[in-house]
Amino acid sequence: MSGQASDDNAILRVEQVSKQFVSRSGIGARNAPVIRAVDNVSLHINAGETLAVVGESGSGKSVTGEWVDLARLSERQLRQLRRHFHMIFQDPYSSLDPRMTVFDIIAEPLIYNERVSRAEARRRVIEVLELVGLGERHLNHYPHAFSGGQRQRIGIARSLICKPRLIVCDEAVSALDVSVQAQILNLLKDLQQRFGLAFMFIAHDIAVVEFIAHRIAVMYVGRMVELGETRAIIDRPLHPYTEALLSSVPMTDPTRERSGKRLSGEIASPINPPSGCHFHPRCPYATERCKAEIPQWRELEPGRFVACHFAAELRLAGMIQSHTPHHELHK
Amino acid sequence: MTPSASLKSTEPRLKVEGLKTYFFLDHGILKAVDGVDFHVGEAESVGIIGESGCGKSITAQSMLQLVRGRGQIVAGHAVLRRKQGEMVDILSLDPDSAEMRSVRGDDASIIFQEPMTSFSPVHTIGFQIGEMLRLHTKLSEAQIRERVIAMLGRVGISNPEVRIDEYPHQLSGGMRQRAMIAMALICHPQIVIADEPTTALDVTIQAQILDLMRDLQDELGMSIVYITHNMAVVAENVSRVYVMYLGRVVETTTTERLFKDPKHPYTQKLLRSIPHPGRPVERLEVIEGSVPSAVDPPRRCGFFTRCPSAMAGVCDAAIPALTKVDDEHWARCFLLSDEKEAEDEWSSL
């Protein structure tokens, strides 16, 4: 697509036209595996960048849902892909096999993907454990011996072991307590700066997304509705769904006026989505045209993509700024 | 509305004192709730906030004597003013007595976090919501059906006359949570305990549900105790907050004061460790370590192991008492007062 395709830094590209994920590993794109993508989605992620994907459950934000279509690839394609992409899951309790030691959990992808000796595997496992704030002493422990935050660190170590360029974090911090969440978010930022990692950060917590993401993709019922730089999206959304999402975010400032704008109705079913623009039944600005015609995904401003017929005319509200200056809370 | 506008010190609807709920495990005693006091006034909303393991959910369940298994309420009073005005200490009632059952549902009800597991899958939602009325009133089946349909409509479920005959699995998560609220409110309780009522929901649905609770509160005049880990939900919905850590309330004040001028090191660190929407920062402050185990905890300040201001020989020698900072602010920290928590027969366990 215009603007996006020329970006040479992209390490993941999802093409709308072909409805395929094309993965590029390292230099050149030989033997790039191709994955079916969701409806009308088109994006790329650059090295060292965090792209957040936000939306309601069932919005297809679970690009993961499609991502798990990885399972439909051939074994060989999958192996190639796994070496470059890794996932960190939401639930640090159920995503680690309780019968495996920390060493086995972390070394598994390494042994599966690369032929390394046990001594080499051990060296590399210790290396990634130290990166995530754990150490050699944890090698032979089982998951139950760890707290939620430590388990998430083990999950991150596992995702790092094959030196991936992109890590998909699917609600990676949402099950964690807030004090632990801060530790993990800082860790992810550190790792990114150190290794130029790219993150695809699937999340519903806008405050977390605002903290970690460089760009945000907003999804609604399987389609991407808006994409742009984090600040631009939050301060000046172009799609009515984004506006509604931002106005629903509860604020940590008790003196702030509560926003009056509320979405009514439930998110539409992806099995039988509404005609035209999927958002039209809940959209306060919808017209007859929105019922009939699927909005084009277009680049309204450089780097700002949106799928709304009226994006150029609407003046939408961003997230309400707090009255309390932030140094008051982050002294 | 600013939360403090509704701060009036009328006679409390519910007053809890010295609540202790312990779990007697094979490897020790888990002191899940270890001396909690709180109160909620008429038509007031208060929040109990804390991270997992702080005892907030067990506090909620203790209120309605729903603690089961190895858990036991070992001490405390929870005095509730019932609909007719008589005072009853809920914790003195037999959990399975007729009076306790009539308190549950009729005077006080609870909204759980997970609507999926709160409904039975084999009965329609209409039947389950109506069951409350069958238990607590003498209404006829036709009247019950009418009341349930009206309540389903009230909580924002479209086509209530159709939905009433649907099963829980036929509803979306947001709709199930609404149905759960309808069940909690059908008998017009005086007090609702909402345990993470919106945690499992998407942000736009969460906002709708919280708006709905606020509207219903204005209309029905009920008191609400929000149990949550979400600072923003507290900031937007309650007038006073109790911060819990390791089985105790460590700080309590008005919502505005809590955010503006927290006194306890834990509250201070907690507020700085969360990303505040609209106020982005480069790095978050971190509370080192994790919450210690509540099994056979040593008699010291629960936050001692993680506190940046911990004083050796002081904070690990006794448990600080919850002491008054001023008329609307209390905190449990030796930096603020030397006063120690009194010991009782459970302290040495």
Taking the C-alpha atoms of residue A59 and residue B203, their distance in angstroms, rounded to an integer, is 12
The pLDDT value recorded for residue A101 is 93
CA B79, B84, B87: angle at the middle one, nearest 5?
20
The pLDDT value recorded for residue B159 is 85
- Residue A6's contacts (CB-CB under 8 Å, 6 or more residues apart) are none
pLDDT digits (tens, 9 = 90+) for B263-285: 999 999 999 999 988 888 889 98
Of residues B209 and B133, more confidently modeled: B133
Taking the C-alpha atoms of residue B182 and residue A274, their distance in angstroms, rounded to an integer, is 28
Of residues A66 and B283, more confidently modeled: B283
Q: How confident is the model at residue A286 (pLDDT cuts 50, 70, 90)?
A: very high
The pLDDT value recorded for residue A77 is 53
Of residues A200 and B148, more confidently modeled: B148
Contacts of B305 in chain A (CB under 8 A): none
The pLDDT value recorded for residue B69 is 86
The pLDDT value recorded for residue B10 is 60
Give the DSSP H or E segment for A76.
helix A75-82
SS3 for A220?
Answer: strand
pLDDT digits (tens, 9 = 90+) for B91-128: 999 999 999 988 988 899 998 877 667 788 899 999 99
pLDDT digits (tens, 9 = 90+) for A89-137: 666 667 788 899 999 999 988 888 788 888 899 999 999 999 888 889 9
What mean pLDDT do residues A1-10 have?
A: 49
pLDDT digits (tens, 9 = 90+) for B171-187: 877 788 889 989 998 98
Q: A222-235 burial, b if ≥16 CB within 10 A, otherwise e? A: bbbbbbbebebbbe
Across the interface, whether the CB atoms of A210 and B280 are under 8 A apart is answered yes
> Are A29 and A22 a contacting pair, CB within 8 Å?
yes
Q: Residue A251: which of B278, B285, B287 has the nearest Cβ? A: B278
pLDDT digits (tens, 9 = 90+) for B292-313: 889 999 999 999 999 999 999 9
Q: ipTM, 2 decimals?
A: 0.79
Taking the C-alpha atoms of residue B32 and residue B297, their distance in angstroms, rounded to an integer, is 10
Alpha-helical runs (H) found in chain B: 56-63, 98-102, 115-118, 125-136, 141-154, 160-163, 173-185, 203-220, 231-237, 255-260, 265-273
Q: Residue B2: which of A179, A255, A262 has the nearest Cβ? A: A255
Q: The pTM is what?
A: 0.84
CA B101, B103, B104: angle at the middle one, nearest 5?
65
The DSSP result for A232-296, as a single string, is HHHHS--SHHHHHHHHHSPPS-TTSPPP-----SPPPPSSSPPSSSTTGGG-TT--HHHHHSPPP
Please give the C-alpha separations between residue A189 and each of A134, A182, A184, B144, in angstroms, as whole numbers.
Answer: 17, 11, 9, 56
Taking the C-alpha atoms of residue B281 and residue A322, their distance in angstroms, rounded to an integer, is 14
The lowest-confidence range among A63-77, A284-298, B11-25 is: A63-77
Across the interface, whether the CB atoms of A181 and B276 are under 8 A apart is answered no
Residue B293 per-residue DSSP state: P
The pLDDT value recorded for residue A83 is 55
The pLDDT value recorded for residue A8 is 59
* Residue of chain B nearest A174, judged by CA positions: B199
> Are B275 and B281 a contacting pair, CB within 8 Å?
yes
Please give the C-alpha separations between residue A304 and each of A3, A43, A219, A236, B91, in angstroms, as whole numbers.
Answer: 10, 12, 14, 11, 59
The pLDDT value recorded for residue B277 is 86
Of residues A162 and B29, more confidently modeled: B29
The pLDDT value recorded for residue B203 is 81
Task: Answer whether B218 touches A (CB < 8 Å).
Answer: no
> Are B103 and B125 a contacting pair, CB within 8 Å?
no
| pLDDT at residue A65 greater than cutoff 60 | no
| pLDDT at residue B194 greater than cutoff 70 | yes
| pLDDT at residue B149 greater than cutoff 90 | yes
Contacts of A185 in chain B (CB under 8 A): 275, 284
The token duo for A307 is 């799928």
What mean pLDDT do residues A7-16 have?
A: 62
Of residues A71 and B169, more confidently modeled: B169
Distance from CA of B316 to the nearest CA of A (A): 22
Q: How confident is the model at residue B259 (pLDDT cuts 50, 70, 90)?
A: very high
Taking the C-alpha atoms of residue A264 and residue A279, their distance in angstroms, rounded to an integer, is 11
The pLDDT value recorded for residue A17 is 36
Task: End-to-end CA distance of chain A: give it in Å, rounded.
Answer: 44
